[in-house]
Structure 1
Amino acid sequence: MTKILLVDDHRLVRNGIRLIIDTHDKLSVVGEVDSAEDALIYLEQNALPDLVLTDLNMQGMDGVSFIRMAKKIYPDLRFAVLSMIEDPVDVAEAFRSGADGYLSKGGDYDEILFGLLRLSQGHKYLMTNFGLRFMETFDVENSGTVDVTSRLSQYEISEREFAVLELIAQGFTAVEIADKIFLSKRTVEGHRQNLMDKTKSKNTADLIRFAFQQKLLS
């Protein structure tokens, strides 16, 4: 169970995200606060959550400053941003401050839930609707994760497809992959076929070879 702290100065947003999180038995909201300052107090006085999900624009301390400060105190704590802001410069700054993921409040239910699940599994996550606008701005030399995201965008490979690709390369079957990333077997097989089409691979072995040659996997 991944325990999540919500940090947002709009109660309606917190309620909406809580409803999304409550639909999955592997995610749980353990607390919610309406400011970065209150979040720091919460972290000091309570058991640490597994993930802090924070807005960027809030009254008082902003999200980037909050993440940067909290990471100095709790370097192993994971953070993700949930914001309406989609400016590549702001997205880049969030990652540089120590964020592990960036989700858009304008994203659909499934995409937000998928991103949270990926983050809960220890991955970094950038919501796919940011696309190349972000990659053209971010200093990729400072982030291997973002460098991979740039190459994924080049081949139009989505985060879901990349998650499937990683597990295929580890030798998991379609059924096992479906269980791990909470998709149906049919959907996993569809993602595998899409990957083969996008990379012009004849079979799974070709797909894995391509992924390593193009440094999509390492």
Structure 2
Amino acid sequence: MTGVLIVDDHPIVLQGFRRMVEDAGVEMIFEAGDPVSGYRLFHRIRPQVSVVDLAFRGSGLAGLSLIRRMRALEPRARILALSLNRDPVIVARTLQVGATGYALKDMPADAFVEAFKAVSEGRNYLPHAIAQDIALLHAAPCQPPAAELTAREIQILILLGEGKTYQGIADILTIGYRSVVNACAALRGKFRVSTQADLVRISLDYRHDRPVRRSVGLHGA
């Protein structure tokens, strides 16, 4: 494995992270602007470290699926996830699908370099405040519904908020239509709501990087 792969669909952001990776002493850097080309590059070059944005325009948190596929292809992969989202549920699921570390896009450059170096050395990395939030989430005597969501359910929830139809979601995630129908039924059950409109309302929190449990009237939020 050699070099670093950066996958992000915002050219300016891509350039910024490229400079920071170069500041960390890396010379061989590969770039991809979407999950499909990102996975193809990963499959071909098997980079030492992959830096992956979680959110892609029109595809929800497609980075979750990309990270899962990378980990399945290369169990030793070192993957740093990037996001503006501080929700501990999303962070926890990102680690569960295979990310080695999680960095915030608005963190200072020196903090990003610290995160990158940790992951490149095979060490896990989480911003301190997020690590505390995850610990508190797991320690809570009564878990909020959001804590029960799978990575796939989170993806579907966000895509609903983007106005995608069931078939559109199935196409984006390359799963069956019936799987989407069943997942939405499970989501309504977990959040104790009865309509699709309720799910769309809840999904807006994830789209705007706000923890779901703040907007659905959960106790202890």
**Same-fold call, TM cutoff 0.5:** yes
Query: 1:111 aligns to what?
Result: 111
Gaps of 5+ in 1: 140-218
Query: 1:57 aligns to what?
Result: 55
Which aligned runs of 4 or more in structure 1 are off by greater than 6 angstroms?
Answer: none
Query: 2:136 aligns to what?
Result: 136
Aligned runs of 1:139-154 on 2, under 5 Å? Answer: none
Greater shift after overlay, 7-16 or 122-131? 122-131
Query: 1:41 aligns to what?
Result: 40
Gaps of 5+ in 2: 140-221
Structure 1 residue 21: deviation in Å?
1.4
Aligned runs of 1:22-33 on 2, under 5 Å? Answer: 22-25=22-25, 27-33=26-32
Matched, 1:126 2:126: yes
Greater shift after overlay, 69-78 or 4-13? 69-78
**8 Å Cα contact 2:55-2:63 kept in structure 1:** yes
CA distance in 1, matches of 2:68, 2:79: 10
Query: 2:3 aligns to what?
Result: 3
Greater shift after overlay, 109-118 or 70-79? 70-79
Matched position secondary structure for 1:112 = helix
Q: Output the aligned Cα RMSD.
A: 2.2
Structure 1 residue 3: deviation in Å?
2.2
| Alpha-carbon spacing, 1:124–1:28, altered in 2? closer, same or farther (3 Å) | farther
Q: Which amino acid aligns with 1:77?
A: A
**8 Å Cα contact 1:2-1:120 kept in structure 2:** no
Residues 39-90 of structure 1: per-residue CA shift (max 9 Å, x gap): 111123x321111110111133711111112211222211110111111110
Q: Which amino acid aligns with 2:21?
A: I
Greater shift after overlay, 7-16 or 27-36? 27-36
**8 Å Cα contact 2:54-2:83 kept in structure 1:** yes
Identical positions, percent: 27
| Alpha-carbon spacing, 1:49–1:58, altered in 2? closer, same or farther (3 Å) | same
| Higher RCO by CA contacts (8 Å cutoff, separation 6 or greater) | 2
Greater shift after overlay, 65-74 or 90-99? 65-74
- How many residue pairs get aligned? The number is 138
